[in-house]
Amino acid sequence: MQQGPNVDPLSLDTIVRNASMKDKTIIVTTLNDAWAEPNSIFDLFLESFRIGNNTKRLLKHVVVICLDQKAYARCLALHPHCYQLYTQGANFTSEAAFMSSDYLHMMWRRIQFLTSILEKGYSFVFTDTDIMWLRDPFQHFFPDADFQIACDYFRGNSYDVNNLPNGGFTYVISNQRTIQFYNFWYFSRQAYPNNHDQDVLNKIKSDPFITTIGLKMRFLDTKYFGGFCQPSKDFNLVCTMHANCCVGLHNKVNDLKILLQDWRNYMAMPNFNSTTMPSWTVPQNCSTSFQRQRQRRGRHLL
CA atoms of 127 and 112, how far apart (whole Å): 15
Q: What are the pLDDT digits (tens) for 10-51?
A: 899 999 999 999 999 999 999 999 999 999 999 999 999 999
Residue 266, pLDDT above cutoff 70 = yes
CA atoms of 143 and 238, how far apart (whole Å): 19
In whole angstroms, how far apart are CA 234 and each of 47, 100, 262, 275? 21, 36, 13, 10
Evaluate whether 110 touches 30 at the Cβ level (below 8 Å).
Answer: yes
Name the band, by pLDDT with cuts 50, 70 and 90, for residue 196: confident
CB-facing half-sphere around the CA of 65: CA atoms within 13 A: 25
Q: What are the pLDDT digits (tens) for 103-153?
A: 667 778 889 999 999 999 999 999 999 999 999 999 999 999 999 999 999
Sketch out the chain's domains with CATH numbers.
Answer: 12-219 (3.90.550)
Mean pLDDT within 258-270 = 95
Mean pLDDT within 222-240 = 97
Mean pLDDT within 259-286 = 88
Name the band, by pLDDT with cuts 50, 70 and 90, for residue 295: low
CA atoms of 52 and 153, how far apart (whole Å): 24
List CB contacts of 55: < 8 A, sequence separation 6 or more: 48, 49, 133, 134, 135, 136
CA atoms of 61 and 25, how far apart (whole Å): 8
Average pLDDT over the chain reads 89
